C-alpha cells in the first residue's frame, strides 16, 4: 500500500512564519522527496466555520490568501492536490457515522479542544460565556474524517495537532474493530527541530497569533519584516552591549534556530561588522557563545536575523506577486483539486458504507436483501 499525505490549515488569516517552519516548509520537502504516492493539502474552510459561523466572509476571503501562500511557498499543483474542504460533501457524511464512535467525555478530554474553548471564551466558567458551538466541540471527529477519507498514512502538522491525530487513530481502531478492516491508521509527522515545534511571537509570547499581533507573515514586505524584527523581544536583562546576554527564551535566537543555515554565516557576514566592534562567526553556536559572553549587541543579531529571514522570504514574495497577477489560475487549481479530492473521498465513503452494510442499493446487495427478507416472511 502506498504512502499518502493529508494535511491542511484553517483559512482564518494569511499564513505566517510559524506555519512555515511548523509545517509548510516540511510539506514542500516531502512533496519533492518522491517518497509519497499522493499528497493532499486541504484548505479547511468548514472547520474554520465551526468558530466563525457569524463571519463567513472572513473565511471566504482567506481561502485565496492561504492558496497563494501555499503555492508561493512551493506547493506545486502538479504534485500536490490542493482543495477546499467544504466542497467535499462526503466528509460530512463520514463525520456523521464517526460521531457514533466517540463519546462526549472523550471529546472533553481532548487537550487542544479544551485549550481552544478557554481561549475563545466559550467555557461555562467564563463570565461572558458564549457557550461552545456543537460543531466546534466535535471538530476532532470531522478532522478524523478529513484524514481517513484520503486513507492518509502520514499527517505532517504542528505539535498542537497531536491530540487530533491521536483521536483519529482511536476512531480508526474502533471503526475497524466494529465493522471490519476498512480505514487506515495515520501517523503524525512533527517538525524535527525543537524551535520549529512552536515558534513564539515576535513579542516572545508562546504562540504566534493574529489576534496578538505578533506575527511575521509570509506575504510581509521586506520593510515590514525589518520593522517587526527591530521591535522583537530579546533578553530584557541585556541592557548594555557589553552585558552578558541570555540565549534561552530570546526570540531572536529561537528564530535563528528555526531559519539559519550554515551558508548564512558567509553570505551575511557583514551583519556582524559594526563601527565599534566586529565579529567573524562560522556557526550559530559561536554567535550564541559571544552573546552569552557579552559584547554582541541586539542590533547585530537582529540585522543578521533579518537577512536570514529574507533569504527564505524573498523567493516566496516574488512567487506570490506572480501568482497574484493570475487569480483565475489559482481558482482553477482549487476547483480541479477539489474535483480530484472528491473522487477519492467518495471511494472511501463507499468502502465505509459497505463495511457498515448500509449500502442497500449497491449492485447485488439489493438482490441479496430481497432474498433474505422474502425468505424471512415466507416462513
Ligand atoms: N486543525 C488544523 C488547524 O487548525 C486544520 C485541519 C483540518 C487539519 N483538518 C485537518 C490538519 C486534517 C491536518 C489534517 O490548522
Ligand 1 pocket mutation, candidates 16, 47, 149, 166, criterion most atoms within 8 A of CB = 47
Distance 320 CA to ligand 1 centre (A): 23
Question: Confidence class of residue 124 from pLDDT cuts 50, 70 and 90?
Answer: low
DSSP 372: H
Task: Compute, in angstroms, the gap from residue 271 CA to the centroid of ligand 1.
Answer: 38
Mean pLDDT of 20-36: 93
Taking alpha carbons only, the member of 7, 10, 63, 3 closest to residue 40 is: 7
- The answer to whether the CB of 199 is under 6 A from ligand 1 is no
Report the atom number in ligand 1 closest to the C-alpha of 142. Answer: 9
* CB atoms near residue 299 (< 10 Å): 12
**CA 239 to ligand 1 centroid distance, Å:** 42
According to DSSP, residue 86 is labeled G
Give the torsion through C-alpha atoms of 107, 110, 114, 117, to 10 deg.
-50
Q: With a cut of 80, say whether residue 13 has pLDDT above it.
A: yes
Q: Is it the case that residue 129 has pLDDT exceeding 80?
A: no
> Which of 42, 70, 153, 345, when mutated, tests ligand 1's pocket best, judged by the most ligand atoms within 8 Å of its CB?
42
Q: How far is CA 253 from CA 55, 193, 249, 271, 299, in A?
A: 37, 13, 8, 15, 13
Instruction: Kindly report, residue by residue over 179-237, the tens digit of the pLDDT.
Output: 999 999 999 998 877 767 778 999 998 788 888 889 999 999 999 999 999 999 899 88
85 lines ligand 1 (CB under 6 A): no
Ligand 1: residue whose CA is nearest its atom 13 = 7
Ligand 1 pocket member 13 (CB < 6 A)? no
Task: Report CA Rg, the chain.
Answer: 24
Taking the CA of residue 158 as reference, the ligand 1 atom at the shortest distance is 15
Q: Is the pLDDT of residue 42 over 80?
A: yes
User: In angstroms, what CA-CA distances link 123 with 99, 115, 116, 320?
Assistant: 22, 10, 9, 39
Mapped onto helix, strand or coil, the DSSP state of residue 12 is: coil
Query: DSSP of 259-311, one letter per residue?
Result: H--TTHHHHTGGGGB-SS-B---SSHHHHHHHHHHS---HHHHHHHHHHHHHH
Ligand 1 mean position to 85 CA, how many Å? 10
Q: Considering the chain, what is the average pLDDT of its residues? A: 94
Q: In this structure, which residue's CA is closest to atom 15 in ligand 1? A: 9
DSSP state string for 93-119:
HHHHHHGGGS-HHHHHH-HHHHHHHHH
* 8 ligand 1 Cβ < 6 A: yes
d(CA 302, CA 295): 14
Is 70 exceeded by the pLDDT of residue 50? yes
Q: What separation in Å is there between the alpha carbon of 143 and the centre of ligand 1?
A: 6
Q: Show me where the domains of the chain are located.
A: 4-199+327-368, 210-323
326 three-state secondary structure: coil
Output the CA 8–ligand 1 centroid distance in Å: 5
**Predicted confidence (pLDDT) at residue 1 exceeds the cutoff of 80:** no
Domain 4-199+327-368: which CATH number of 3.40.50.300, 3.20.20.60, 2.40.37.10, 3.40.50.620: 3.40.50.620
The per-residue pLDDT for range 161-183, each reduced to its tens digit, is 999 999 999 999 999 999 999 99
Angle separating helix axes 139-149 and 162-179, nearest 10 degrees? 70
Q: Are 51 and 17 in contact (CB under 8 A)?
A: no
Whether 45 lines ligand 1, by a CB cut-off of 6 Å, is no
Q: Is the pTM of this model over 0.85?
A: yes
* 3-class secondary-structure state, position 187: strand
**What class is the 210-323 domain?**
mainly alpha
Q: How confident is the model at residue 159 (pLDDT cuts 50, 70, 90)?
A: confident
Residues 6 or more apart whose CB falls under 8 angstroms from that of 301 comprise 234, 252, 253, 256, 287, 291
The C-alpha atoms of residue 324 and residue 343 are separated, in whole angstroms, by 29
Quickly list DSSP for 150-186.
TT-SEEE--GGGHHHHHHHHHHHHHHHHHH-S-SPPP
Which tens digit of pLDDT belongs to each residue from 321-373? 999 999 999 999 999 999 999 999 999 999 999 999 999 999 899 999 999 99
Does the pLDDT at position 306 exceed 70? Answer: yes
What is the rounded CA–CA span in Å between residue 297 and residue 301? 7
Q: Could you count the other beta carbons within 10 Å of the beta carbon of residue 270?
A: 11
Place of cell 493532499: 40
Amino acid at each position: 500500500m502506498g504512502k499518502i499525505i493529508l494535511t491542511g490549515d484553517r483559512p482564518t488569516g494569511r499564513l505566517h512564519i510559524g506555519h512555515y517552519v511548523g509545517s509548510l516548509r516540511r510539506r514542500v520537502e516531502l512533496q519533492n522527496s518522491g517518497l509519497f504516492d499522493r499528497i493532499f493539502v486541504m484548505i479547511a474552510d468548514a472547520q474554520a466555520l465551526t468558530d466563525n459561523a457569524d463571519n463567513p466572509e472572513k473565511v471566504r476571503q482567506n481561502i485565496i490568501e492561504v492558496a497563494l501562500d501555499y503555492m508561493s511557498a512551493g506547493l506545486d499543483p502538479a504534485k500536490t492536490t490542493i482543495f477546499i474542504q467544504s466542497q467535499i460533501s462526503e466528509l460530512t457524511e463520514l463525520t456523521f457515522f464517526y460521531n457514533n464512535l466517540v463519546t462526549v467525555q472523550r471529546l472533553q478530554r481532548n487537550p487542544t479542544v479544551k485549550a481552544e474553548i478557554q481561549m475563545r471564551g466559550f467555557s461555562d466558567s467564563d463570565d461572558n460565556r458564549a457557550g461552545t458551538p456543537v460543531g466546534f466541540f466535535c471538530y476532532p471527529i470531522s478532522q478524523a474524517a478529513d484524514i481517513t477519507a484520503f486513507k492518509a498514512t502520514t499527517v505532517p502538522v504542528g505539535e498542537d495537532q497531536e491530540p487530533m491525530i491521536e483521536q483519529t487513530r482511536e476512531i480508526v481502531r474502533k471503526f475497524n474493530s466494529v465493522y471490519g478492516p476498512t480505514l487506515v491508521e495515520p501517523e503524525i509527522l512533527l517538525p524535527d527541530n525543537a524551535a520549529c515545534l512552536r515558534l513564539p511571537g515576535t513579542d516572545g509570547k508562546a504562540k504566534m497569533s493574529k489576534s496578538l499581533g505578533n506575527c511575521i507573515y509570509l506575504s510581509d514586505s521586506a520593510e515590514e519584516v525589518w520593522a517587526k524584527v527591530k521591535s522583537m523581544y530579546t533578553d530584557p536583562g541585556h541592557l548594555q552591549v557589553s552585558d552578558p546576554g541570555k540565549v534561552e527564551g530570546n526570540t531572536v535566537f529561537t528564530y535563528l534556530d528555526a531559519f539559519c543555515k550554515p551558508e548564512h554565516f558567509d553570505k551575511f557576514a557583514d551583519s556582524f561588522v559594526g563601527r565599534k566592534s566586529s565579529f567573524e562567526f562560522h556557526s550559530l553556536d559561536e554567535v550564541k557563545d559571544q552573546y552569552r559572553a557579552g559584547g554582541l549587541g541586539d542590533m547585530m543579531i537582529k540585522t543578521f536575523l533579518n537577512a536570514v529571514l529574507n533569504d527564505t522570504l524573498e523567493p516566496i514574495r516574488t512567487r506570490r506577486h506572480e501568482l497574484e497577477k493570475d487569480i483565475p489560475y489559482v481558482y482553477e487549481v482549487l476547483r480541479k483539486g477539489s474535483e480530484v479530492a472528491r473522487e477519492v473521498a467518495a471511494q472511501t465513503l463507499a468502502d465505509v458504507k459497505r463495511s457498515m452494510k448500509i449500502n442497500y442499493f449497491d449492485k447485488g446487495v439489493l438482490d441479496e436483501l430481497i432474498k433474505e427478507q422474502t425468505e424471512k416472511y415466507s416462513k
